[in-house]
Chain A
Amino acid sequence: MPDAVLTVLIAEDSATDRMLLARIVSKQGHAVLTAENGEQAVALFAEQRPQLVLLDALMPVMDGFEAARQIKALAGEALVPIIFLTSLSEEEALVRCLEAGGDDFLAKPYSPVILAAKIKAMDRLRRLQATVLEQRDQIARHHHHLLNEQRVAKAVFDKVAHAGCLSSPNIRYLQSPYALFNGDLLLAAFTPSGDMHVLLGDFTGHGLPAAVGAMPLAEVFYGMTAKGYGLAETLREMNAKLKRILPVDMFCCALLLNLSFSRRMVEVWNGGMPDGYVLDTDGGEPLPLVSRHLPLGVLAPERFDDSTQVLPLALGQRLFLLSDGVVDTSDDNDQLFGVERLRRVLVANRQPELLFEEVLGALEAFRGCCRDDVSLLEIGIVDPDALSPPPMTYSDSGQCAPLDWSSQFEFRADTLKRFNPLPYLLQLLQEIHGLRTQSGALHSVLNELYSNALEHGVLGLDSALKRDARGFAEYYRQRNERLQALNSGYIRLRLRVEPQGLGGRLIIEVEDSGKGFDVNKVLGRPLVEQGLYGRGLNLIRRLSRHVEWADEGRRVCVEFTWEALA
Chain B
Amino acid sequence: MSDIHIDRNVLRDLQEVMEEGYVCLLETFLDDSDKRLSQLHEAKSALELGHAAHSFKGSSSNMGALALAALCQQLEARVKQQPLYGIEDLINQIDREYEVVRHLYAEERHRVSIG
Which A residues are within 8 Å of any B CB, using their own CB? 13-17, 19-20, 23-24, 27, 56, 58, 85-87, 108-110, 112
Contact = CB atoms under 8 A, between A and B. Distances in A.
A56 B73 CA distance: 17
What 6 pairs between A and B have smallest CB-CB spacing? A16-B59, A16-B29, A109-B61, A108-B58, A109-B62, A14-B59
Interface of B: 10, 14, 17-18, 21, 24-25, 28-29, 31-32, 51, 54-55, 57-59, 61-64, 73
A20 B61 contact: no
B65 to A, nearest CB: 10
A19 B61 contact: no
Main secondary structure of the interface of B (DSSP, over half): helix
Contacts of A56: 58
A14 B55 contact: yes
Contacts of B24: 19
A27 B62 contact: no
A20 B32 contact: no
A15 B58 contact: no
Of listed A14, A23, A110, residue having the most chain B CB within 10 A: A14
Given A19-B25, A56-B58, 9 more contacts: A13-B55, A14-B58, A16-B28, A16-B63, A19-B28, A20-B14, A20-B17, A87-B58, A109-B10
A58 B54 contact: yes
A108 B17 contact: no
B51 A16 contact: no
Of listed B31, B58, B64, residue having the most chain A CB within 10 A: B58
Nearest to B50: A58
Nearest to A57: B54
Contacts of A27: 17
A24 B19 CA distance: 11
Contacts of B61: 87, 108-109
Contact of B54 (A24, A87, A112): A87
A557 B2 CA distance: 133
9 contacts: A15-B32, A16-B59, A16-B63, A20-B17, A23-B18, A87-B57, A87-B73, A108-B59, A109-B62
A109 B61 CA distance: 5
A58 B17 contact: no
B31 A15 contact: yes
Contacts of B14: 20
A112 B63 CA distance: 14
A110 B64 CA distance: 11
A205 to B, nearest CB: 65
